[in-house]
A and B are shown apart, each in its own frame.
Chain A
């Protein structure tokens, strides 16, 4: 079983819709959770970090964490074509500054 799992996609949503990206992790000791966005040929860019169970909102983005279910998700409201990218879920088990990444979900926002 992979440590951090994501559906590779592509996930296709129409412009203006809500995109829902999901991630599961295997290590129950995981403490920090991150979503990065990566455009083709570019480096990962931090979108959100979340540390506690529940929701965390930042503009059009909402991260949701459920440690009991070992599940973290990212919702993108009012999706825009510029949101088309690969979204990487990353988990830190607490062993200082060592992130384990999922393989990423490719999001396509269609006009």
Chain B
């Protein structure tokens, strides 16, 4: 079974621009979560989608948003980019089966904001 895929893998943007990142979960997985990883803050939860609905949201400003499509693919958008948004953005999918909530990570998108 193919793993979680994320596109693009690398992205360079300038301050003030916006960016859209894409994530395709493992086939059959309906839950998709997004995380930001920086050297200073570590891995931080952004939000989680299940059946096209946002179920959980972390403590990030409204510039960070996401959505999920009917095929479970998800996108996250960051508007008005700031230098501090430079990070590795990770997507994880979960099967959401009874008794297991294990999350499997994609390779990530490395965003650099200049």
Seen from chain A, the residues whose Cβ lies within 8 Å of a Cβ on chain B are 32, 34, 36, 42-46, 49, 88, 90, 92, 95-104
Contacts and interface: CB of A to CB of B under 8 A. Distances in A.
Interface in B51-107: 55-56, 58, 88, 90, 92, 94, 96, 100-107
Given A43-B90, A43-B107, A97 B101 contact: yes
Given A43-B90, A103-B42, A104-B42, A98 B48 contact: yes
A46 B33 contact: no
A44 B90 contact: yes
Chain B, interface residues (CB within 8 Å), range: 20 to 34
Interface of B is mostly: strand
A99 B92 CA distance: 10
A68 B102 CA distance: 23
A78 to B, nearest CB: 25
A98 B104 CA distance: 12
Which 8 A/B pairs are nearest by Cβ-Cβ distance?
A101-B43, A43-B105, A98-B56, A103-B42, A97-B31, A43-B108, A97-B48, A44-B105
A97 B96 contact: yes
A92 B92 CA distance: 14
B28 to A, nearest CB: 15
B48 A45 contact: no
Nearest to A94: B101
A11 to B, nearest CB: 17
Given A96-B55, A97-B96, A46 B48 contact: no
A71 to B, nearest CB: 20
B55 A97 contact: yes
B45 A46 contact: no
A41 to B, nearest CB: 9
A58 to B, nearest CB: 13
Given A44-B90, A49-B100, A95 B56 contact: yes
Contacts of A100: 45
B34 to A, nearest CB: 11
A28 B33 CA distance: 23
Given A97-B33, A98-B45, A101-B43, A46 B107 contact: no
